[in-house]
Amino acid sequence: TGLPASPFDCWLAERGMLSFDLRFDRTQATAARLADHLATLPGIRRVLYPTRADHPDRDRAVALLGGQGCNMVSFELDGGRACANAFTRAAEGLSFAPTLGDVGTTLSHPASSSHRALSAERRAELGMSEGFFRVSVGLEDPDALLAVFTTAVAEAMASRGAAG
């Protein structure tokens, strides 16, 4: 069904399993904090995190995940593509990636990456506007991460005022 993994890759996977629980707990706790923090920022239209009370499938997520959240947060920024671009430029230290999952926090903008082949109408049906982002939360200091997002959202909203 595929090529076997190299000995080095196997060693890395085995070594990573030793700290998986710690890393998972940390990223999950930071993701929950980030989701709650984003929801307080002007310019954020909505936040999606499975254990938040306002998540449309919260009860189902809690039942399926045993009360756990995850390290993924999605949010929608007001202002369309121009604000999304300003946010990405201002999110200093965060990697922009079409794929998610690393020890460092990564951003994904589906409208310009994973879902760019879909029409704007089809993305809208899926709930993905030009301001929609996915975040894979990493192991950074939670307070520092919240500060990066606060600054980036503020810069994005400032660009909106400057453009309009």
- Examine the pLDDT at 48 and tell me if it is beyond 80: yes
Q: At what angle do helices 80-90 and 142-163 cross, to 10 degrees?
A: 140
What are the tens digits of pLDDT across the range 140-160? 999 999 999 999 999 999 997
Query: What distance separates the 2 farthest-apart alpha carbons in the chain?
Result: 56
Is the pLDDT higher at 164 or at 89? Answer: 89
- Examine the pLDDT at 41 and tell me if it is beyond 80: yes
What are the tens digits of pLDDT across the range 62-84? 889 888 888 999 999 999 899 99
- As to burial, measured by CB atoms within 10 angstroms (0-12 exposed, 13-18 middle, 19+ buried), residue 107 is buried
